[in-house]
Structures are given as C-alpha cells and as structure tokens.
Amino acid sequence: MQRNFSSRLVVAAMLAGALAACSGEAPADAPADAPVDAAAGSDVAAPVDVEAVLKAREATFEGIGDAFKAVRGELEKDAPDFALIATKATEINTAAGKIDSIFPAGTSVDDGYKTEALATIWEKPEEFKAASQKLIDESAKLAALAKDGDKAAVAAQAMAMGGACKGCHDKFRLDDKK
C-alpha cells in the first residue's frame, strides 16, 4: 500500500523527481525492468523505480482503454460478440485490480514526472481506492451480464462502467485539455 511507504523513500522519490524535472530525463539509476508490483505492493520499504511505475501505468490504462473500445465497438453492431465483450470486461476487471499497486507515493505530476496522476490520489487515498473498486465492481457486472446476451442490458452496464472511468479521471487525472 502506498500509504505505508517510509518517508525516506518519499524523499528519495521526490529528489529523483526534481532531478528528472531539471534534466528533462529519467533518473539515470532507474532500471527499466524492475518488478513494479513487488516494489509497490509490499509493506517493506523498497526503492521505487519511477520510470517502471510510469510505464506500468501507461500499459495498464492503455490496455483498459483498448478493451473498453473493443466493448463499445461490439455494441455498435447489430449482433455483438458477447463472448468477446465478456473477455474484454474480464481484462478490465483484472487490470482494475492492479490500479492500487501502480501508484506508489511520490509519483504524481507535482513530483516533476511526466504523468497525469494528480497529487489528489495520495491526499485522498480512500476515495481513490473506492474509485478503483468501482471499476472492479462495474467491470465484473459487465462480464457477468454479457454472458446473458441482452444487448440493451449490456449497453447500459457498459455505460455504467464508463461512469467509473470518468468518475476517477474527473478527480484524479490531470486534464491538460482544460
């Protein structure tokens, strides 16, 4: 859990962020392929490999975004592939379960990183956790409903799941288009 990170780590991460901000580059000592889950998910203080964290976030959310696009694409068809919708909803469900582990403290846009993660994530950890839990719940519902093959019900649930994306983005993701 990000709340259990030692302050020493936070300071180290902030320093790395400051350096990255000055040079416009990633901290030189950040190996690209360190195990993110192990570092972020454990209560034991482990060094945060910020570059790997940012990459994991990008991969996770792009995967979620692509899966959601596939769901919407099916729902535009007269005869959607409900098995595919169920598969994609399950992919989103699995990815949503990882959200908590890819936001270690000290990795917000305010820490100088190229990220859309707002500091609010760590200021309101319970709300952030609730927002990721909402996506877990809504995607599970979508996967279950898809098996029944009722297009209207599936479309309504896809909308509800989209609300979980928007709900989190509105509060916790930097919108640079505003």
Q: Which residues would be at the binding site for ligand HEC (CB under 6 A)?
A: 54, 57-58, 61-62, 64-65, 68, 92, 99, 115-117, 128, 131-132, 135, 161, 164-165, 168-169, 172-173
CB of 137 to ligand HEC, least distance (A): 11
CB of 84 to ligand HEC, least distance (A): 16
C-beta closer to ligand HEC: residue 124 or 151 = 124
Residues of the chain by 3-state class (helix, strand, coil), percent to 5: 70, 0, 30
C-beta closer to ligand HEC: residue 81 or 137 = 137
C-beta closer to ligand HEC: residue 48 or 79 = 48
Long-range contacts of range 8-13, CB-CB < 8 Å, 24 or more positions apart? 8/45, 9/45, 9/46, 9/47, 9/48, 9/105, 9/106, 10/105, 10/106, 12/47, 12/48, 12/106, 13/48, 13/50, 13/104, 13/105, 13/106, 13/107, 13/111
8 A C-beta contact, residue 39 and residue 115: no
8 A C-beta contact, residue 119 and residue 13: no
CB of 37 to ligand HEC, least distance (A): 16
Q: Which two tokens stand for residue 93?
A: 């469900």
C-beta closer to ligand HEC: residue 97 or 149 = 97
CB of 158 to ligand HEC, least distance (A): 9
8 A C-beta contact, residue 30 and residue 49: yes
C-beta closer to ligand HEC: residue 78 or 144 = 144
Radius of gyration over alpha carbons of the chain, in Å? 18
CB of 89 to ligand HEC, least distance (A): 9
